[in-house]
Chain A
Amino acid sequence: QVQLVQSGAEVKKPGASVKVSCMASGYTFTSYYMHWVRQAPGQGLEWMGIINPSTGTTSYAQKFQGRVSMTGDTSTTTVYMELSSLRSEDTAVYYCARHIPAGGGGSWFDPWGQGTLVTVSS
């Protein structure tokens, strides 16, 4: 079955960087784009960007431009999201989610990883 397994929780100091991994299994890794979405404590979902694991092409939400980097490793079927210059407001659960395109238009996210809690605190 399709599975996305993410790395464990992280605690970082303000100004540091964090790199979260998402290992995919159960499907052809290079055939589906991957999204990253975050959720601050008690808050809603926020889209961060998307990566094409086959080519490495990325597209980031404007809010994260210059601070986020998404990469992929086809040999380990793993995508990574690195966020730099961390501040307290970046404390959140970070999710990866597979992009499913529909032939006739439309797309959605399915499935989602289990989430990785990143805590930014001095």
Chain B
Amino acid sequence: QSVLTQPPSASGTPGQRVTISCSGSSSNIGSNTVNWYQQLPGTAPKLLIYSNNQRPSGVPDRFSGSKSGTSASLAISGLQSKDEADYYCAAWDDSLNAWVFGRGTKLTVL
């Protein structure tokens, strides 16, 4: 059972906007920043969003992140077929003294 809660799946049609939620607690999201990773099929995870809402160089501005209280969200606008992947949220947990991840959300582009 993961410390961070994500929906197992999400879907949308090309061009649509989808959001993926990540719910935690005061010891992780509530007191630390959130990062998001994209894992394309058969590949290693890749940094997508860091420090709640920052995009690394090369990540399109279609991807955005936000955080409020003990929850965070990843939004993807202008959905494309190449966005089909698993998305993971992650944060440091002060109580566990460990990095914690969500179980991942599988995004399907219909």
Contact = CB atoms under 8 A, between A and B. Distances in A.
B46 interface: yes
B23 to A, nearest CB: 15
Given A106-B32, A108-B51, A47 B44 contact: no
Contacts of A35: 99
B104 A108 contact: no
Interface in B6-37: 32-33, 35, 37
Given A106-B32, A106-B50, A107-B92, A115 B101 contact: no
A19 to B, nearest CB: 20
Given A44-B2, A59-B97, A105-B33, A111 B47 contact: yes
Contacts of B44: 95, 112-115
A46 B101 contact: yes
B100 interface: yes
A59 B51 CA distance: 22
B47 A109 contact: yes
Interface string B43-64: 0111100111000100000000
| Interface size classification for chain A | 20 to 34
B57 to A, nearest CB: 11
Given A95-B44, A106-B51, A110-B56, A44 B98 contact: no
Interface string B68-110: 0000000000000000000010101000111111111000000
A108 to B, nearest CB: 4
B46 A45 contact: no
A62 interface: yes
A35 B44 CA distance: 14
Contacts of A44: 2, 88, 101-104
Nearest to A115: B44
A108 B100 contact: no
A79 to B, nearest CB: 16
A64 B101 CA distance: 16
A16 interface: no
12 contacts: A35-B99, A37-B45, A44-B2, A44-B88, A46-B101, A100-B50, A108-B90, A109-B45, A110-B50, A112-B45, A113-B44, A115-B44
